[in-house]
Amino acid sequence: MQPASDQHTVKKLSCQEVLDQLADYLDADAQAELVAQVDMHVGACEHCRAEVDTLKRTIMIYRCDERVVLPVHLDERLQSALREAYAGQGGPPADPADSGEGKA
């Protein structure tokens, strides 16, 4: 059994440990001990703070009910890149219009 003074000490996590536990950390039911450990690390580590902030923003975007409309030039570049990537893998039709799915 650990001495009483050690029971309230927050374990220091490495960057890898923080990254490995991000999903649990961001879960609404995260354990208070894990939250304290990650918060302490992120408070001192700029790289991990950026990772956590980016992941939080990504989750917020995916939870958003708004439809995001891409600028035409970006949509065309994305569609072209996807067609090229799928072509090498035998993926979906070369053009979404060919499948009867028009752009919204």
Q: Per residue of the chain (104 residues), what is the pLDDT tens digit?
A: 444 444 457 789 999 999 999 989 988 888 999 999 999 999 999 999 999 999 999 888 888 777 778 889 999 999 999 999 988 776 665 555 555 544 44
Task: Say what the pLDDT of residue 79 is.
Answer: 93
Look at residue 42 and tell me if it is in a domain. yes
Task: Say what the pLDDT of residue 93 is.
Answer: 56
Look at residue 14 and tell me if it is in a domain. yes
Task: Say what the pLDDT of residue 1 is.
Answer: 44
Contact indicator for 36, 10 with CB cutoff of 8 Å: yes
Domain count, the chain: 1
Look at residue 15 and tell me if it is in a domain. yes
Task: Give the structural domain span for 32.
Answer: 8-63
Look at residue 102 and tell me if it is in a domain. no
Look at residue 50 and tell me if it is in a domain. yes
The structure's pTM equals: 0.52
Task: Say what the pLDDT of residue 5 is.
Answer: 42
Look at residue 24 and tell me if it is in a domain. yes
